[in-house]
A and B are shown apart, each in its own frame.
Chain A
Amino acid sequence: DQQVKQNSPSLSVQEGRISILNCDYTNSMFDYFLWYKKYPAEGPTFLISISSIKDKNEDGRFTVFLNKSAKHLSLHIVPSQPGDSAVYFCAAGSSNTGKLIFGQGTTLQVKP
């Protein structure tokens, strides 16, 4: 029972263009959502989050969009840089439980 799904295992974009990473969830009890970035041999690093009362949150080059009716969120990176090449995980949580459920991850490659 995969409550959080990232259906694209990989994505390749050109430097300077937009990267769009997608995530779908099934549990309507989730009320906050996060994106993490992971480099090889390192732990995931928090990138950006959004609560269910918002539909957009922006931090520099990173913007997360939440569509509650579709149970879908996306991460936009503009402009993409080679240093953004990493595995990106979306995660969802419920403030009732305090724990996160992670997706399978999407490997982003930004080509110079």
Chain B
Amino acid sequence: GAGVSQSPSNKVTEKGKDVELRCDPISGHTALYWYRQSLGQGLEFLIYFQGNSAPDKSGLPSDRFSAERTGGSVSTLTIQRTQQEDSAVYLCASSLEGTFGIQYFGAGTRLSVL
């Protein structure tokens, strides 16, 4: 497929468990972003990877959240010791470097923490 792919599409977990969310960006896109959309809220920036530069982690809400991007392509967002307030839709986007912000989004992973 040509678009941004996220898996799983839905994830239900118990409070205190760790979860991993995966994002496959569009081939050739050097920038990758993670956002979170809580119920009734806008898109909250989490983290941004650009090429080989150090990621911008300024949006991560706590040290339970981390992300990595291997080989400049696939990214994994990990949430440790999940809490109920982590329940949200997690969206991934990618963009070509220098395209002035036009990001292409995946369909998201809906995370429910019971």
Contact = CB atoms under 8 A, between A and B. Distances in A.
Interface of A: 6, 32, 34, 36, 41-46, 49, 51, 89, 91, 93, 95, 97-105
A43 B93 contact: yes
Contacts of A44: 43, 91, 105
Nearest to A98: B50
B102 interface: yes
Contact of B100 (A32, A97, A103): A32
Given A98-B50, A103-B42, A46 B103 contact: yes
B66 to A, nearest CB: 18
A97 B56 contact: yes
Contact of B35 (A93, A102, A104): A102
Interface string B32-43: 010100000111
A2 B108 CA distance: 23
B56 A99 contact: yes
Given A43-B4, A43-B93, A43-B107, A104 B100 contact: no
A102 to B, nearest CB: 4
A100 B45 contact: yes
B105 A43 contact: yes
Which 6 pairs from chain A and chain B are nearest by CB? Answer: A43-B105, A104-B42, A102-B43, A93-B101, A99-B48, A102-B42
Contact of A46 (B31, B41, B102): B102
Nearest to B107: A43
Given A98-B31, A98-B48, A98-B50, A46 B104 contact: yes
B106 interface: yes
A88 B35 CA distance: 16
A92 to B, nearest CB: 9
Contacts of A89: 42-43
Contact of A43 (B50, B91, B101): B91
Contacts of B105: 36, 43-45
Contacts of A43: 4, 91, 93, 105-108
